[in-house]
Each structure stands twice: as structure tokens, then as C-alpha cells.
Structure 1
Amino acid sequence: MLWAAIFVLSLFILVQASDYFTDAAERLGIFLGFHPFIIGVTIVAIGTSLPELASSIAAVLQQSSEVVLGNVVGSNITNIFLIVGVASAMSRKFKITYHSLKVDLQIFLSSAFLLCLAVGDRDFSAGDAWLSLGGFIIYLLYAVLSHPNTLETSGESSERDAEEDPAEDTANCLKKPDRFPVKSLAIAIVSLIFIWGSAEYTIESVTKISEFLQIGKEVIAISAVAFGTSLPELIVTIVATRKGNPEMAVGNVLGSNIFNCFAVMGVAGAIDNLEIAPVIIAEGLPAMLAGTILFFLTTQNKQFSRWEGLLFFVFYGWFIGELFDFL
């Protein structure tokens, strides 16, 4: 009971600290003049993926590297089936207007395939890790450089972008502050400290709980830890959808999953070789790959309906049921 309470508390602090960091980083992004979709796929996606990154690094340092792949795969599955399902169910039907979505989706699909190929031999070496980090750097450069227009202080964009990108209305709602947000920078730094400390206790509690229940740490990672570390993405999705900007939620899922496959696996694998659990290969990877392909196909018409969102919920329920032998 003690370690269960520590797990819940540390995971709560991890999510809350990441939420504070994301808000602060988003304000910094607005000050720098990034487009809303770019904020979603870079700053917000990285910020909301910090729990996965911090807990994965802590897992490797505590000799529990089998948690890393379980956390990444479980988080990606949760992002696709649960979070996109929530955004679709809340907004009935929404269109994705960002004109560079096609390339983002291809990188999203490629990151999942690269992860599957890299761990297919049940080994994730330092070479695999550096290749993954290279993929993330390429995506980050693409995300920033492919949309060169920035938010002006007046909130006006060029006529060309107004024609190509109807999301300009959202951009107009984000006002660039006159002064550098020093407070936001301080909040971001303090949040990072809490993120790291809580990640340490999260992994330690997972280890203790798995020993008590006599189940693999990777099973807890792909289910409970993955769901908990995906809560920031879920919160961002609900807030963005309520504000009439569900496409930021889609951008967040795209960026977050790419970050998990490339950056989280890359950073953790660069520290030490990762242990690959058979249950993740057998049950987790097929579900993640199926969800990635389904998401790719569903977004080809650049819109989501409520019925598609409800179908995503069914897939998430199936995954959890299969994982714990409920089905």
C-alpha cells in the first residue's frame, strides 16, 4: 500500500510538473512567434512527453530498462486510441487545416516503423539510439523550417499563408508579449527539477509493486505508467478541443508519438542498451503499429468524425483487455 501510494503521488507530481512546464514553454513559444500547429508538434508535444522521457531515463539508471519500451509503446497506443478518440467525441467532426500535415503523417508513420525494426531482434543498441536521435533532429528541423512565417505582434500573417492555412484564425488569438517572459522561464526550470525527482520515485515504486504482484515491470509500464504519463496529452487535448482548436490536439499526438519513438528511445538507448521484453514485442508493438496505420489512413481526408473517435475507444479497450487476459 505504501509503494502504491508513492506511485500515485509521484506520478501525479510528474504530470503536474510537466503541465506547468508545458504552459511555460508554450508562452515562450508564443513569444518566439511560432505557429499554433508548430507549438503543438514541437513545444507542447515535447513538454507533454517529458514524463515519458524522465521516467525512461530514470528506468535505465535504476537498471530497469525493460520499462522504457513498454512506456513508449503504451503511451503511443494511449495517444492514438484514447486521446484522438476524446478529441473526436468532443467535437463531433473537425477538419485538419494545416497544409503540411501530409509530411508530418509520413514522419509519424516512419518513426513507428523504425522503432519496430529496431527492436524486432529484441535488441536496441547504441547505434539504434543514435539513428533514432538523428530522426528526431530531422523532424524538428522540418517542423520549424517548413513553416517560416511567425506570429506578428499585431497577429497578422501573410496573404499567402492566409490562403493556404485557415488555421490563421487561431494564430490571431495568440498575442506575442512585449517583454521576454522571465516568469515562464523560471517556472520551466523549477518544473524540470520536480519532473526528475518524481520520475525517480515513479520507477522505484513500479519496481516494488511488480515484485509484490509478481508481474513484469514492463506490463505495469505499458498500462498504468503509460496511461499516467499520457495524462498531459489528454489534458491538452480536452483544453484545445473546448477552445475550438482540436487540430492542435492532433498535432500534439503526432509530435508526442514521434518524440517517443525517436527522442525517448534514443536518449534512453544512448545511456545503455535497453532490455526488450517479449510481451511488448508480442502484444504491444502490433497494437501500436496497427493504431499508427489506422490513424494515418483516417487522417487522409483531413477530418475526424465522432464515430471514428468511438471506434478508437473500442480499440483501446481491446488492447487493455488482451494485455491483462480479460478477453
Structure 2
Amino acid sequence: MAFAVAALLAGFIILIWSADRFVMGAAATAKNLGMSPMLIGLTVVSLGTSAPEMLVSGFAAYTDAGGLAIGNALGSNIANIGLVLGATALIAPLPVKTGLMRKELPLLLIISIGAGLILMDQRLGLVDSLLLISALVVTLYLFSRFQKSADPEEIEHEEEELPDLALKPALFWLILGLVLLAGSSRLLVWGATEIAVAMGVSDLVIGLTIVAIGTSLPELAASVASALKGHHDIAIGNVVGSNIFNLLAVMSLPGLIQPIDFEATVLWRDYGAMMLFTLSLLAFAYILERGKINRLEGSMLLAGYSGYLGLLYYMASA
């Protein structure tokens, strides 16, 4: 128990430090390579911070825990919007730029609906995974097209906020931060899981709460660090991009290993909750605040996520 507590604290400290280095490296790399902060948030940061989810899904598939593998991807998306974006908005209100509203957010909605259609038969097989990977390739192509059509004046303004760091040290901190982010998140998950087991919490509750939250800690740390540094595009792009990669890359991995059948509960409860949070994000961006997520919206997202955790606990203990 004492070792688990020490691992939890050490993982938290490393996570905070590595998130700062990672965001610095990502932002500087964007400047050196001529990429906008939004694009690198949607790709490099998002795919990198999705590494823990990929590890958990792959391991779950090998151990015949198919429900956990799919639930991890869906649960992480819920945590990304409810916990990560909610907490980040509480720290610093986030403006949602027009480009994100016209391109990436509609793309996230389309991919979320498409993933639901694939999961409708409560089975994830090889063909389903190949469809998701094909959509991932198309998405990466679209991201590159979005970058080319971005407003030059907007890109120039964004570049003024980026740190002045040469390419080699920027890549060094980017890679080192990414490795430490993934490693520290796994250390945190292990420590928290050991503590939960010692306290008599069920495996189901651990998998749906601690694992989902733990694998979203890199996104939380990176988004909060980005917001504090004023890189709002990386903070929002990280959440949107991570959710896209979770559905297309993370969720496709288990089906490539072996076909997975899962309970209907995963579909109506977890996928349904993910869609509610996704639609809430779009509502905040398009309707309520007209392109801005303030502290009120952040509080609403956190309250919704707390309600989802309460539902999980109620159903697990019923």
C-alpha cells in the first residue's frame, strides 16, 4: 500500500513536469516545421497522448477483455471532454476559432456517428477495424488540407506566441516529454489501481473509472499546461484530436488482434454518454457562447462527468 501511494505521487510529479516539456517541444516544433499550433495539437500531441489508451486496449484484447478494450476508448473520450476540457476551461476560458468550428468539430461528430454504426451489432471484427483505420488515413489527409487552407494572418499571429527554440532541442523535449507522459500515466494507473484493490473496490469500477481517468491524464496535463501558456489551440485541438484518434486508432487495435463481442451496456451507456458530451461540446461552440467555452461551461462538463461516474458506480453496485 505504501509503495502504491509513493508510485501515485511520483507519477503525478513526473506527469506535471513532462507535460510542460512536451507542450514546449510541441509548440516549438510547430513553429520550426511551419505547422500551426492547431495542426500539431490535432496530430502529434493527440496521437502521443493517446498512447496509454492504445497500450491498455492492446493488452485487454490479448487477455480476452474485449469490453474493457472498447470501453477504454469510449471512456477516455468521455473523460477528455467532461474532465480534461472541463478542468481546462475552469483554469482559462477557451476561445474556439472559426476554423475548428467549420472543420475539425464537424469531423469529430461524423466520426463519432460512424463509430456508433460500426458498434451497432455489438461486435468489433477485422473488417470493422480496417474501416476505422481507413477513416484514420482519410482524417490525416484532411488535417493536412486544413493546414494548407488556414488563414495566413491567423497562422502568423499564432506563431508569435510560440517559444523560440531550435528544431533539435524542440524535438528532444517533444520526444522525452511524450515518453515520460506515457510512463508516468501508467505509473499513476498502477498505483491508483493497487490502492483501490486494497480498499476493496471492484475490478469493474476500477476499469471504468481509474483506468479511463488514468489514461486521460496525459491529455489533462498537456491541455492545462497549454492553456496556462496561452496556447489555446493546442489545448482544444488536443482534446478534439485525441477523441478522433481514440475512435479510429485506439478502438481499431483490439479488432486487429481478435474479434470482440461486447455487452449492449457498453453501447447504450458508454457510447451514448460519449455522444452526449460530444454534442454538448458542439452546442457550447456553436450555440451557447458562440465560439467560447467559459468557466460556466467547464463546470457543466465536470458536473456531467461526475454524474457519469455516479451512474457507473450505481450500476456496478446494484
Q: TM-score range by the shorter chain?
A: 0.7 to 0.9
1:234 corresponds to: 220
| Structure 2: gaps of 5 or more residues | none
2:162 corresponds to: 174
1:188 corresponds to: 175
Count of residues in correspondence between the two structures: 312
Listed one character per residue, the Cα deviations across residues 266-307 of structure 1 (whole Å, up to 9, x for unaligned) are 123212223424432242111111111111122112212221
1:279 corresponds to: 265
How does 1:94-113 map onto structure 2 within 5 Å?
94-113=94-113
2:57 corresponds to: 56
Structure 2 Cα separation of the partners of residues 323 and 50 of structure 1? 25
Structure 2 Cα separation of the partners of residues 310 and 32 of structure 1? 36
How does 1:37-76 map onto structure 2 within 5 Å?
37-76=38-77
1:123 corresponds to: 123
User: Does the CA contact (< 8 Å) of 1:129 and 1:266 recur in 2?
Assistant: yes
User: Does the CA contact (< 8 Å) of 1:25 and 1:188 recur in 2?
Assistant: no
Structure 2 Cα separation of the partners of residues 9 and 24 of structure 1? 25
CA gap 1:29/1:266 in 2 versus in 1, 3 angstroms = farther
* TM-score between the two structures when normalised by the length of structure 2: 0.81
Name the % identity: 26
2:235 corresponds to: 249
Structure 2 Cα separation of the partners of residues 70 and 46 of structure 1? 18
Listed one character per residue, the Cα deviations across residues 225-257 of structure 1 (whole Å, up to 9, x for unaligned) are 111111111112211222223332111110000
Deviation at 1:202, TM superposition (A): 6.1
The residue type paired with residue 147 of structure 1 is: Q
The residue type paired with residue 297 of structure 2 is: E
1:161 corresponds to: 152
User: Does the CA contact (< 8 Å) of 2:185 and 2:218 recur in 1?
Assistant: no
Deviation at 1:189, TM superposition (A): 7.5
Structure 2 Cα separation of the partners of residues 323 and 9 of structure 1? 26
CA gap 1:139/1:291 in 2 versus in 1, 3 angstroms = same
Deviation at 1:173, TM superposition (A): 2.6
User: Does the CA contact (< 8 Å) of 2:125 and 2:260 recur in 1?
Assistant: yes
Equivalent of residue 222 in structure 1, options 208, 222, 242? 208
CA gap 1:188/1:274 in 2 versus in 1, 3 angstroms = farther
What RMSD over aligned residues (CA atoms) do the two structures have, in Å? 3.7
SS of equivalent to 2:260: coil
1:316 corresponds to: 305
The residue type paired with residue 161 of structure 1 is: P
User: Does the CA contact (< 8 Å) of 1:52 and 1:71 recur in 2?
Assistant: yes
Is the helix fraction higher in 1 or 2?
A: 2
Deviation at 1:65, TM superposition (A): 2.8
Which stretch has the larger CA shift, 13-22 or 271-280?
Answer: 13-22
User: Does the CA contact (< 8 Å) of 2:95 and 2:293 recur in 1?
Assistant: yes
CA gap 1:7/1:321 in 2 versus in 1, 3 angstroms = farther
SS of equivalent to 2:64: coil
1:146 corresponds to: 146
User: Does the CA contact (< 8 Å) of 1:14 and 1:199 recur in 2?
Assistant: no
CA gap 1:18/1:116 in 2 versus in 1, 3 angstroms = farther
The residue type paired with residue 230 of structure 2 is: G
Structure 2 Cα separation of the partners of residues 252 and 121 of structure 1? 30
1:305 aligns with 2:291: no
